[in-house]
């Protein structure tokens, strides 16, 4: 039996993954942006251990979520699922003066990775749109560019794949992988999304707990439990290190050494 923490598990793929893991007999801790949503998450995933609350659009609250998780003890796996989507029509700033989409989709998984006690496995949800992400890593906070919601989302999903690969390289004792769940009919994906919703949740569950040899790898990119080639930028160590440095700059916290 494994113990797994899943960000953004009040609905969508995060909730589906939590339900499957609980059904398999694993201990699951949920996450939602508020106490109200956390209670809703617990009601939707009977058998979950508990839920922590904190809006990942705030650096202070990201740190608060990490403290709550560490207080609960050691986890075998963390699934970084929380994100906002490409339909964001304008650049919204958070209390730190940072672009909210950048904070939730990029800085939150980075900072939680840096602050939570190191698990055995880390799973980061990326997207096929990462292939359209800006690999120059210029203007991460969207201060110079004219806002484009889909481009901002694509950039952030490239960041998640880069982060997964960087952690795999930096922490050889951790299995760190990225997942492309497909365009599925969640609240983010919309009702007309054509991909298989059930399969969309399966890969992160498999990577979190499976003892199959195919799941016991690191630094890979998966789609529906099969290896898929990521954008070439993802495997660039220099680009990985530049992203880590930028995230450390924005959060004030560097990724710990191995």
Residues acting as catalytic residues: 153, 157
Residue 256 lies inside a defined structural domain of this protein: no
Strands of 3-6's sheet in order across: 50-53, 27-32, 3-6, 77-80, 121-125, 175-179, 221-223, 226-227
Virtual CA dihedral for 30, 35, 41, 43, nearest 10 degrees? 120
Whether residue 194 has pLDDT greater than 70: no
Instruction: List, in sequence order, every residue forming a beta bridge with 253; answer none if it has no partner.
Output: none
Residue 258 lies inside a defined structural domain of this protein: no
Residue 191 lies inside a defined structural domain of this protein: yes
What range defines the domain where residue 71 resides? 3-251
Residue 230 lies inside a defined structural domain of this protein: yes
Positions of E strands within 8-99: 27-32, 50-53, 77-80
Residue 97 lies inside a defined structural domain of this protein: yes
| Closest CA relative to residue 149, chosen from 107, 190, 89 | 89
188 — pLDDT class (breaks 50, 70, 90):
low
Number of domain units in the chain: 1
Q: Are 157 and 130 in contact (CB under 8 A)?
A: yes
DSSP 71: H
CA distance 48 to 28: 5
Whether residue 155 has pLDDT greater than 80: yes
Whether residue 150 has pLDDT greater than 80: yes
Residue 227 lies inside a defined structural domain of this protein: yes
75 — pLDDT class (breaks 50, 70, 90):
very high
Residue 109 lies inside a defined structural domain of this protein: yes
CA distance 18 to 4: 9
226-227 and 221-223 beta bridge pairing: antiparallel
The enclosing domain of 125 has a CATH number of 3.40.50.720
Q: In a 10 Å sphere around its CB, with 0-12 CB exposed, 13-18 middle and 19+ buried, how is residue 140 labelled?
A: buried
What is the per-residue pLDDT across 9-27, written as a single tens digit (0 to 9) for each?
Answer: 999 999 999 999 999 999 9
User: Average model confidence (pLDDT) for the chain?
Assistant: 94
Whether residue 190 has pLDDT greater than 50: no
């Amino acid at each position: 039996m494994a113990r797994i923490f899943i960000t953004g598990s009040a609905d969508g793929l995060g909730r589906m993954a939590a339900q499957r893991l609980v059904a398999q007999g694993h201990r699951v801790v949920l996450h939602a942006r508020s106490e109200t949503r956390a209670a809703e998450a617990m009601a939707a995933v009977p058998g979950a251990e508990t839920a922590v609350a904190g809006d990942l659009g705030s650096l202070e609250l990201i740190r608060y979520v990490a403290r709550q998780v560490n207080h609960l003890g050691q986890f075998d796996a963390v699934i970084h699922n929380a994100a906002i989507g490409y339909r964001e029509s304008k650049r919204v700033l958070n209390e730190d003066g940072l672009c909210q989409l950048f904070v939730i989709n990029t800085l939150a998984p980075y900072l939680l990775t840096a602050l939570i006690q190191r698990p055995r496995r880390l799973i980061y949800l990326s997207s096929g749109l990462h292939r359209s992400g800006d690999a120059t890593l210029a203007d991460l906070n969207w201060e110079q560019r004219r806002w484009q919601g889909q481009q901002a989302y694509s950039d952030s999903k490239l960041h998640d794949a880069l982060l997964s690969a960087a952690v795999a390289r930096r922490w050889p004792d951790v299995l760190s992988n990225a997942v492309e769940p497909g365009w599925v009919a969640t609240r983010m994906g919309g009702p007309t999304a054509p991909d298989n919703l059930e399969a969309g949740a399966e890969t992160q569950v498999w990577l979190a707990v499976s003892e199959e040899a195919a799941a016991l790898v690191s630094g890979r990119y998966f789609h529906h439990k099969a290896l898929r080639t990521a954008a070439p930028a993802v495997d660039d160590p220099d680009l990985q290190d530049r992203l880590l440095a930028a995230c450390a700059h924005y959060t004030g916290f560097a990724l710990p050494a191995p």
